[in-house]
Amino acid sequence: MVKTKEKLLNVRLYFFSILLILILPFSLDAGNLEKGSVSDLLSSDTCGFLNHESGYHFALRSNGLLDLALIPNVTFEFGRGRYSGSATWAAAWWGGGNKCWRIYGGEAEWRCYFGEVSRSRVLSGHHAGVFVGLFTYDMKLGEVGRQCPDVAASWGLSYGYSFPIASRLNLDLNIGIGFIHSHYKRYRYMCGQHICDGDRKLHYFGPVKAEISIVWLLGK
């Protein structure tokens, strides 16, 4: 199999993860937000955490679509008022015989929430944002495998809607359209070994991500 430049790759991914953590604690003036309730569920939190009076707010979520694809993932979201930033980490390391399903990397996303629900519950309602991600992969489920020896990049715009399903749980639907740039090697398994079949480049524009996530709104 084509040898991955693991040391260089790990340094870059770790640096990216640290960078995400450093840029998340931003402070944004949310302005005077109208207080209101669209349902009994939105007003059920008596401590004030789920409305904008709490200032900063946090959440954890996981994308069920990636989970179904056997790619465990977790996202930490940090926000104030109608604005938030999030950092996602996903990693899968499956394989056996001449099959391989390996992908890992991180993504940062910045969102602005708007609409009626967003005025009465944090990290809820319609949202639009921008995202950027770095990842690597090695996938071979058939005769031909594709391995990224370095780091692939994605970036674009996102839109979605997050609505409450319990007092501290949301269901978040999100789609992203943008670009993917990647350099990868094609390889085949022949005569008991993996044979490189040449280098390729991927320049793609279109839908690049989809999310159906359970969101846990954190607090006291």
How confident is the model over 11-51, as pLDDT tens digits?
355 445 544 444 444 433 333 333 344 444 554 443 344 65
DSSP 44: -
Confidence grade of residue 200 (pLDDT, cut at 50, 70, 90)? confident
Q: Is the pLDDT of residue 175 over 90?
A: yes
Could you tell me the residue range of the domain that residue 211 belongs to? 6-218
Q: What is the pLDDT, as a whole number, of residue 85?
A: 96
Residues 25 and 84: beta-carbon distance below 8 Å: no
Whether 52 maps to a domain, the answer reads yes
For 63, counting Cβ atoms within 10 Å of its Cβ (0-12 exposed, 13-18 middle, 19+ buried), the class is buried
Q: What is the pLDDT, as a whole number, of residue 172?
A: 97
DSSP 151: -
Q: What is the pLDDT, as a whole number, of residue 197?
A: 75
Q: What CATH number should be reported for the domain holding residue 86?
A: 2.40.160
Tell me the whole-structure pTM to 2 decimals. 0.73
Q: Is the dihedral of CA 47, 52, 53, 58 positive or negative?
A: positive
- 182's tokens: 């990647």
Q: What is the pLDDT, as a whole number, of residue 18?
A: 44
**Cβ of 97: how many Cβ atoms within 10 Å?**
7
Whether 1 maps to a domain, the answer reads no
Q: What is the pLDDT, as a whole number, of residue 16?
A: 52
Q: Which residue has the higher pLDDT, 210 or 146?
A: 210
Whether 187 maps to a domain, the answer reads yes
Helix H or strand E encompassing 51: none
Q: What is the pLDDT, as a whole number, of residue 176?
A: 97
DSSP 53: G
pLDDT tens per residue across span 103-153: 999 999 999 999 999 888 999 999 999 999 999 988 888 778 888 888 999
Q: What percent of the chain has pLDDT over 70?
A: 73
Whether 117 maps to a domain, the answer reads yes
How many domains does the chain contain in total?
1
d(CA 13, CA 7): 10
Q: What is the pLDDT, as a whole number, of residue 37?
A: 40
For 56, counting Cβ atoms within 10 Å of its Cβ (0-12 exposed, 13-18 middle, 19+ buried), the class is exposed
- State mean pLDDT over 185-189: 80
Gyration radius from the chain CA atoms? 20
